[in-house]
Chain A
Amino acid sequence: MATSDTVLEQHEVQGQTDWSGGKPAFRASYGKLMMWYFLLSDAFTFAGFLIAYGALRFSSPTWPVPDFVFSTAPFGVHHAPLIFVTIMSFLLIVSSVTMVRAVQEGHKENKNGVVFWMLMTILGGAGFLSCQAWEWTNLIGSEHMSVTTNPFGSHTEGGVYLTADGKESEEAFKAGESFLIHKAHAGHGGEAHGEGEHAEQDYSQGDHPGYFVDDRGFVHRKFIVTEGPDAGMVKMEQFGPKAFGALFFFITGFHGFHVFSGVVFLFIIMINAASGLYMRRQNGHEMVEKMGLYWHFVDLVWVFVFLVFYLL
């Protein structure tokens, strides 16, 4: 008993009242203050990424429209712009709220409450990660976006698409409208470009009357420009700005990695809390509070990732 009492005293001295200089700076414990400063530095990292996104977006004449790019959801839902990411945001908000509850129960030294609410938070975080995994799989697997290829392009001038045999079709578009360059023989469930008729066509590499198939199998549809100085010319769909794919995967990936490590740490701290470790420290479950700061930060970053990638 004697030894554990000594340990307790040490924790109190180090953790709560004093960093052995008389008064603790800003009346906060060392760990909590350093968590704040870590989060500040992390905020700068994320800000650097997001500002790079902004600079590259400003430097491109066109940019993929988010409500066109992010319009698919699981179970075959298409043309549902931003719905899936809104659900992801809700998951993160809810898990943030359950984390606040865990911290509050911690202050009350209610061990079971802490474990219960941390478990809820872990479920929220895991749910978010699963959604992100689906989103990435869809973008990479079905829509063939990669770090170096961005099949989401936008028209810079109005025009009319050609049919497969090179005649003018009914399908007209205006400047600024987005398109997705599909891969030949890659079913992209239900995208409204007449999948049925595609099946019988010749998609061998090279030039065709109505489209051009590049060496990676992307089918660039041809169209006649109907406005502007190039009116009357036949052009084909071009890839969108390359940077989009790289920025998307790096930024959401970096955020997702934060969520993932958050879930791992939540799990460790939940186990520790369940074992009664933080009860013995008698400092109001400060470790749970520090974890809470990190978890809210992850939610905070998502607010801005959501803003720049999906809303604007």
Chain B
Amino acid sequence: MGHLSYEEAKKVVYKGLVLLAVVTLIEVFFSLLGKGHVIPALKGITWLHYLIGMLLIALSLYKAYFIIYEFMHMRYEVKGLAMSVLLPTLLLIWAIIAFFQEGNSWKNRRELIKEKNVEEVDEGASKQESMLLKDTYILRLEEEGI
């Protein structure tokens, strides 16, 4: 299958072990750094939080790439096979954007409802409104000839 000799392939495997372990350790380190466990002063800095989030996502994607291409031998498969498996996952980009947007909108709506619930109702305005409603009602009755 592979285009590597047995000895070479064995080397790639142990290189992979070290690589994945080191990348995982780096991820954990940065995650804790961003949460202020390593240097307490860094806690709560928003831009740093986003930067580290991006870094963590990038490192995880790299790990995924390595597992698929080396451990699962995608590198040695025909291009068509690789494309037919990998390209459909691009749909997830749309799903991520759409659903995160949706989640954000739920949050905004909940906050709006919360605000509306505690809002003081202006008595005068509501009375006027009900008058208006009554007028339209009568007007409509007249129109309909009742």
Binding site for B on A (CB under 8 A): 26-28, 33, 36-37, 39-40, 43-44, 47-48, 51-52, 54-61, 65, 67, 81-82, 86, 89-90, 93-94, 96-97, 99-101, 104, 107-108, 176, 284, 289, 292-293, 296-297, 299-300, 303-304, 306-307, 310-312
B134 at interface (Cβ–Cβ under 8 A)?
Answer: no
- On whether the beta carbons of B77 and A26 are closer than 8 Å, the reply is yes
Residues of A within 8 A of B53 (CB): 312
Q: Which of B14, B17, B60 contacts A303 (CB 8 A)?
A: B60
CB distance from A219 to the nearest CB of B (A): 26
Q: Is B85 an interface residue (CB 8 A)?
A: yes
Interchain Cβ contacts under 8 Å between A and B, 28 examples: A26-B80, A27-B81, A47-B89, A47-B92, A54-B96, A54-B100, A55-B102, A56-B103, A58-B104, A58-B106, A59-B107, A59-B110, A61-B107, A61-B111, A67-B37, A81-B35, A86-B25, A93-B24, A97-B14, A97-B16, A108-B6, A292-B71, A292-B72, A296-B71, A299-B67, A300-B64, A310-B31, A312-B31
> Contacts A33-B81, A97-B16, A311-B31 known; A59 to B106 CB distance under 8 Å?
yes
CB-based contact A176/B44 at 8 Å = yes
4 further A-B contacts with Cβ under 8 Å, apart from A59-B102, A312-B57, are A81-B35, A97-B14, A296-B67, A306-B24
In the assembled complex, which residues on chain A have CB atoms less than 8 Å from the CB atom of B35?
A: 65, 67, 81
B64 pairs with A304, CB closer than 8 A: yes
Find out whether the CB atom of A54 lies under 8 angstroms from the CB atom of B37: no
- B97-126 Cβ-contact flags toward A at 8 Å (1 or 0): 001101110110011000000000000000
Question: A51 contacts B96, CB within 8 Å?
Answer: yes
- Shortest 3 CB-CB contacts between residues of A and residues of B: A58-B103, A55-B103, A59-B106
Q: Is the CB–CB distance between B103 and A57 below 8 Å?
A: yes
Report the nearest B residue to A33, measured CB to CB: B81
* Complex-state Cα separation, A292 to B2, whole angstroms: 15
In the complex, A104→B12 CA distance in Å? 11
CB-based contact A311/B68 at 8 Å: no
Contact of A82 among B10, B31, B56, B92 (CB under 8 A): B31
B138 CB-CB contact with A under 8 Å: no
- Find the A residue at minimum CB distance from B4: A104
B139 within 8 A of A: no
Per DSSP, chain A at the interface is: helix
- Which residue of chain A lies nearest to B31 when distances are taken between CB atoms in the complex? A311
Which parts of B55-93 form the interface with A (CB within 8 Å)? 56-57, 60, 63-64, 67-68, 71-72, 77-78, 80-81, 84-85, 88-89, 92
Binding site for A on B (CB under 8 A): 1-2, 6, 9-10, 13-14, 16-17, 20-21, 24-25, 27-28, 31-32, 35, 37, 44, 53, 56-57, 60, 63-64, 67-68, 71-72, 77-78, 80-81, 84-85, 88-89, 92, 95-96, 99-100, 102-104, 106-107, 110-111
Q: Across the interface, do A82 and B100 meet the contact criterion of CB distance under 8 Å? A: no
- B1 near A107 with CB under 8 A, answer yes
Residues of B within 8 A of A37 (CB): 85
Determine the distance from Cα of A293 to Cα of B72 in the docked complex, in whole angstroms. 6
The complex places the Cα of A36 from the Cα of B78 at a distance, in Å, of 13
Which residue in A57, A94, A104 is a CB contact (below 8 Å) of B9? A104
Is A303's CB under 8 angstroms from B28's CB?
A: no
Q: In the complex the two chains form, is A97's CB within 8 Å of B17's CB?
A: yes
Contacts of B85 in A (CB 8 A): 36-37, 39-40
**Chain B's nearest CB lies how many Å from the CB of A83?**
8
**Chain A residues with Cβ under 8 A from B10's Cβ?**
101, 104
CB distance from B57 to the nearest CB of A (A): 7
Complex interface: chain A residues within 8 A of B67 (CB):
96, 296, 299-300, 303
Neighbouring A residues of B24 by C-beta, 8 Å: 86, 89-90, 93, 306
CA distance A170 to B6 in the complex (A): 65
Q: A117 to chain B: closest CB distance in Å?
A: 10
**Contact in complex: A82, B28 (CB < 8 Å):** yes
| Chain B residue, CB-CB nearest to A293 | B72
Contact (Cβ within 8 A) A51 B68: no
